Amino acid sequence: MDEIQKNHGNKYKFKLFGESVFILFHLPPLMLNNVNISVALFKEKWYLFSMLLNVALLAGGQSRRFGSDKALANFRGKPLIEYISEKFIREGFNVSVISKDVTKYLNVLSGSVEHVEDIFEQQCPLAGIITALRHFRSPVFVISTDAPAVPSEAVKAVLNALDGYDAAVPDADGKIHPLIAAYAPSCLDIFMKQFESGNFRLRDALASLNTIYLDDSFFSSLGFDSSIFSNINRREDMELFRKNISL
């Protein structure tokens, strides 16, 4: 958060990632003089505002190792993509699915999920993230549709860590997870330049950003370990999740 200031009457102005946000406090005029707003509190809790609780599900993968579209595979009695989206919807997130075929998941997802068409013919994670940033025009947590163990509390913490950075990327158990990460709108120009150059490697793009990498200690302080970043690549992984991953 860059700044917070009283603007007019009971309207307060915030600057988040360079964008002005106005929030109206409905308080009697006589009380306004006694209201003390803690900048530190808002800096710690800004992610609680629903307008910033954005999640983009990247559903453009080929699922070659799985053998079919794993987003539609049955996971705990429902399609995997539905399981993941419902988890975030229950916690008040704005959820969108990024896919080249916007009709593909219409019949399996809640009506509150927005279906966003990938703007590029070239299908790759970088293209999906660019589409998500253009769609939300505010910080967004991106997650592939094969990672059902990521808890909403961890997502909020990663979004919170994004403050002042272009990207917040988990670096858990010695492995970075750019497809389970948060990105600010400031990434967009850099991502577009790299995409237009023909380099579609997301990790190369991260090297050009002001990125904070969140290690195991960050997540252990929240009560989580690296297993929350486990993903499903093959059909046998479904059984491993059933036996070993607590969801």
Average pLDDT per consecutive 10 residues, the chain (247 residues; last block may be shorter): 42 42 40 43 43 84 63 86 93 93 85 90 91 95 93 95 95 93 96 94 92 96 93 76 62
* pLDDT number for residue 137: 92
Comparing CA positions, the residue from 129, 84, 132 lying closest to residue 108 is 84
Contact call for residues 134 and 119 (beta carbons, < 8 A): yes
The confidence score (pLDDT) of residue 41 equals 44
What are the residue ranges of CATH 3.90.550.10 in the chain?
50-244
Query: Which CATH code for domain 50-244?
Result: 3.90.550.10
pTM: 0.77
| Predicted pLDDT of residue 57 | 96
Tokens for 194, please give them. 């790299």
- Give dist(CA 152, CA 165) in Å, integer: 21
pLDDT at 131: 96
